[in-house]
Amino acid sequence: MTDPKQAYDVIILGTGFGGAVLATILARHGKRVLMIERNTHPRFAVGESTIPQMTMGMRILSVRHDIPELDHMSSAMRIRKHITSSCGVKRNFGFVYHRPGEPQRPAECNQVGANHGDDSESHLMRQDIDAYYFYTAVKYGAEPRQNVQVTEIEIEGSGVRVHDSRGNVYRGRYVVDGTGYDSILARKYGLRDAPTRLRTNVRSLFTHMVGVEPYDDHVEPRGAHRMPHAWHQGTLHHIFDGGWLWVIPFDNHEHATNPLCSVGLQLETHKFPRPEGVSPEQEFRDFLVRYPSTAAQFAGAHAVRDWVSTGRLQFASTRCFGDRFGLLSHAAGFIDPLFSRGLANTVEVNGALATTLLAALDDDDLSAERFSAVERLQQNLIDGNDKLVASAYIAFRDFELWNAWYRFWGLGSFLAMFRLRSAKMRYDESGERRFLDQLDDPPCPGRVAPDYPKFNALFETAVAVVAEVEAGQRSVASGRDELFAMLRGIDYAPPVYPWTDPNLRSSVADQAAVERVKTWVATQAPTDIKQLYFDVKTHAWLDSAPRDTTHPETQP
């Protein structure tokens, strides 16, 4: 175990996006890394819709570790140029509310922009993205083993031994588990919290299809929703009491080469228990009949692979780190595809873990205590995401409640994004790495707004208000009114978005929004927000921020 020529510094189990990106970073720093994968790349994976915290997070990791390939994920155009043409564009988050047995009401929808001129967030064809990062890790020196079944893992004071079904024994100093839901180490050490502390209780059916038509083509009259962007240009969420359906097209731009569209239906288990003897495909078709306005875009659609029908999606772990081992984000816990936070959490945890692990290897201190800050981050991400998502499912019972609740997600996301952008801007202006390193150590790690406790307190109160609606202690109208009153009562929400007007249901971060924010910073913004996000060269920051401009494809 002590022979440095034979032992790896880190053995990574599972080489999805999470494992491969971490392997790349560790190998880039000269660590001896072994990657063990039970499949062979490219292989199917879900987790396809990106958010700015994730793409900006990859850009920051790229700078911090001097790995240009990590920046290739930071926008749709970069992905197309450097990785693959098989991904779609995500120019908006679209939410369209449906009632059973009724045509959709055009006033009941919301849209949040994710468009930057020609560029945007992305719909990831994960098999291609994951393969790219697996090969990138190999390029930087990580050793690959694919199609390998791990049979045993021994973790002792002096090191780690991983056995495979071919009789090989790999020795290392530390083992990282990136095997996701079916985490090997969570099973070995009984790390799952059971019964789980999580509130969200949802199952999922998903597949890839061909022939899914733009929802916009079936809205009567066309453009009736009066939204800034076409729905098909973004991740479309058909939401309803008890669940939601994702539509994630990969063929939604002029350079598209991939005809597939990802489709996934989430159902609260107590409202929609799994029907006996009904195939997932039939369950999906039955859903389309129940919510008639969802059906037309799938009339000519066919699945290209078997539907996956899951049990409850949510899981968490009582702990994620032990002596000489750690779990990546998706091995530690998962809540729901809603709000697309899985990969963002993966990137955030990978960033904190990489820094901690590199230093711990150098110090030869691989104890659980050394990773306590990353443990806290993971646990807070899981719990915060659970509150966000569980409250959204409660809000789905009534469009007006949802129309209030999703603004808390939006505001929290803007603050989290401002945090990353301003850190990067400060680094660009000064060349001082501390602005990026500080991201590992915010006052509220893993919270919705990691460096702004005031918002997190507001968020907790909003979660409690929504819970009162669920418990029958408040009417829906009272909950909705209270949420809007709370938003009206704060002075720190940058006016990117019409936070407090229920009738304004969409946002675009266009030039007008930038000008609004500039004026607000100059005249009204509280000092703490200015210091956090806008103190240095405010206008340079805002002027360089990506913004929404009209693009022919975006027109509804």
Region for residue 362 given its phi and psi (left: phi exceeds 0; alpha: psi -120 to 50; beta: otherwise):
alpha
For residue 537, the 8-state DSSP code is: S
CA distance between the termini of the chain: 62
185-223 CB burial, b ≥16 within 10 A, e <16: bbeebebbeeebebbbbbbbbbbbbeebbbbbebbeeee
* Residue 332 binds to ligand FAD (criterion: CB under 6 A): no
* Residue 313 binds to ligand FAD (criterion: CB under 6 A): yes
User: Least separation, in Å, of the C-beta of 490 and ligand FAD?
Assistant: 28
R_g of the chain, CA atoms, integer Å: 23
3-state secondary structure of 485: helix
* Residue 25 binds to ligand FAD (criterion: CB under 6 A): no
* Residue 179 binds to ligand FAD (criterion: CB under 6 A): yes
3-state secondary structure of 2: coil
Q: Which is nearer to ligand FAD, 154 or 515 (CB)?
A: 154
* Residue 244 binds to ligand FAD (criterion: CB under 6 A): no
Do 379 and 400 contact (CB within 8 A), yes or no?
no
User: Least separation, in Å, of the C-beta of 430 and ligand FAD?
Assistant: 31
CA distance 226 to 186: 48
* Residue 182 binds to ligand FAD (criterion: CB under 6 A): yes
Tell me the residue type at 199. Answer: R
* Residue 446 binds to ligand FAD (criterion: CB under 6 A): no
The pattern of x and - marking residues 30 through 59 that bind ligand FAD according to CB under 6 A reads ------xxxx-----xxxxx----------
User: Least separation, in Å, of the C-beta of 533 and ligand FAD?
Assistant: 24
Name which position in 27, 58, 184, 236 contacts ligand FAD (CB under 6 A).
Answer: 184
CA distance 386 to 467: 13
Alpha helix (H) ranges present in 334-398?
Answer: 342-363, 372-395
Q: Which is nearer to ligand FAD, 356 or 538 (CB)?
A: 356
* Residue 178 binds to ligand FAD (criterion: CB under 6 A): yes
Total chain residues near ligand FAD (CB under 6 A): 35
Q: Report the 10 Å Cβ neighbour count for 300.
A: 11
Q: Which is nearer to ligand FAD, 206 or 492 (CB)?
A: 206
What are the tokens at 537? 């060269």
Q: Which is nearer to ligand FAD, 182 or 515 (CB)?
A: 182
* Residue 337 binds to ligand FAD (criterion: CB under 6 A): yes
Q: Which is nearer to ligand FAD, 133 or 533 (CB)?
A: 133
User: Least separation, in Å, of the C-beta of 16 and ligand FAD?
Assistant: 2
* Residue 121 binds to ligand FAD (criterion: CB under 6 A): no
Q: What are phi and psi of 44, to 5 degrees?
A: -60, 140
| 3-state secondary structure string across 243-284 | EEEEEEECCCCCCCCCCCEEEEEEEECCCCCCCCCCCHHHHH
CA distance 95 to 93: 7
* Residue 416 binds to ligand FAD (criterion: CB under 6 A): no
Do 109 and 228 contact (CB within 8 A), yes or no?
no
* Residue 333 binds to ligand FAD (criterion: CB under 6 A): no
User: Least separation, in Å, of the C-beta of 536 and ligand FAD?
Assistant: 31
Residues 185-214 interacting with ligand FAD (rule: CB under 6 A): 204, 206
* Residue 61 binds to ligand FAD (criterion: CB under 6 A): no
CA 170 to chain centre: 33
3-state secondary structure of 104: coil
CA 392 to chain centre: 16
* Residue 93 binds to ligand FAD (criterion: CB under 6 A): no
Quote the crossing angle between the two packed helices 399-430 and 476-488, to the nearest 10°: 30
Name which position in 52, 180, 326, 412 contacts ligand FAD (CB under 6 A).
Answer: 180
* Residue 330 binds to ligand FAD (criterion: CB under 6 A): yes
Name which position in 10, 12, 18, 534 contacts ligand FAD (CB under 6 A).
Answer: 18
Name which position in 15, 111, 385, 391 contacts ligand FAD (CB under 6 A).
Answer: 15
Residues 146-175 interacting with ligand FAD (rule: CB under 6 A): 150
* Residue 243 binds to ligand FAD (criterion: CB under 6 A): no
User: Which residues in this chain contact ligand FAD in the complex, by CB under 6 A?
Assistant: 13-19, 36-39, 45-49, 150, 178-180, 182, 184, 204, 206, 264, 313, 328, 330, 334, 337, 340, 342-344, 346
